[in-house]
Amino acid sequence: MSDIWTMIWKESKDLIFQGGRAQLIRPLIVVGIMGVALPYRTGLRWLELSLPVMLVVVLVPFQYIVSIIGDAIAGERERHTLETLLATRIPDRAILLGKVIVAVGYAWGMALAGLLLASVVVNLSYGNGSLAFYHPLELFLEALALSFLVSLLTASAGVLVSLRVATVRQAQQFLIIGTIVLILGGVLAVSLLPTDLYSSLSYSQILLVVIAVLAILDAVLLGLSLVSFQRSRLILS
């Protein structure tokens, strides 16, 4: 466990200081848009977590991780620091998990901060004397679960891509193309399903189904990442 914490500290420091001032400002801008600008325009409807709002909650961690996860391995390779990292006694699994945890933690943290800040902004701007929060509460919990699972899915896929490309730009391009293919495939798959299969489900129940599917995909991709990350193979490459 101490090895994982060592990697978390190393990755957090790299993420903050290597990106310069822009890396410090960008999360604030994202949280400001999600937690102030959009909720202020939407009003109390934001707290209902309708599908458009839920998509915002999901896209925030996704976009952030796509912008940083390519650096996981390809960035180390470009900076010629990969050999130094692999020469340490930190186990392969700790290296990989440390990188994934930091990426997911930052992205999911922004989504959580945005949701909580949005509730404050909505209450201050449109409150009628009583405290309003996301309702029903299960939708708020499902929003947190979705943002976490999407973050983990993107981070795991990003690591797999970053292992196999030479540059960070290539990793980002592959992730964007893969996302487009995945979205189009998902839309096509849903359109082919019998309407009776999901017409009887409520909005919350559909989200639970999506959460279950994402959890399975997360387990598969994270497992593939752990298997694929082998320092002997990386040293030879």
Task: Give percent of the chain above pLDDT 90.
Answer: 26
Q: What is the Cα gyration radius of the chain?
A: 19
Report yes or no: 177 and 112 within 8 Å, Cβ to Cβ: no
CB atoms within 10 A of CB 223: 11
Confidence of residue 47 (pLDDT cuts 50, 70, 90): very high
> What is the rounded average pLDDT of the residues 137-165?
90
Check if the beta carbon of residue 86 is closer than 8 Å to that of residue 234: yes
Domain segments of the chain as ranges: 2-236
Q: What is the pLDDT of residues 159-196, one digit of tens each?
A: 888 888 877 788 878 888 877 777 777 777 767 767 76
Decide: residue 48, CB within 10 A, 0-12 exposed, 13-18 middle, 19+ buried.
middle
Give the pair of three-digit tokens for residue 38: 């959009």
Q: Give residue-wise pLDDT tens across range 93-126.
A: 888 898 899 989 988 999 999 999 999 999 998 8
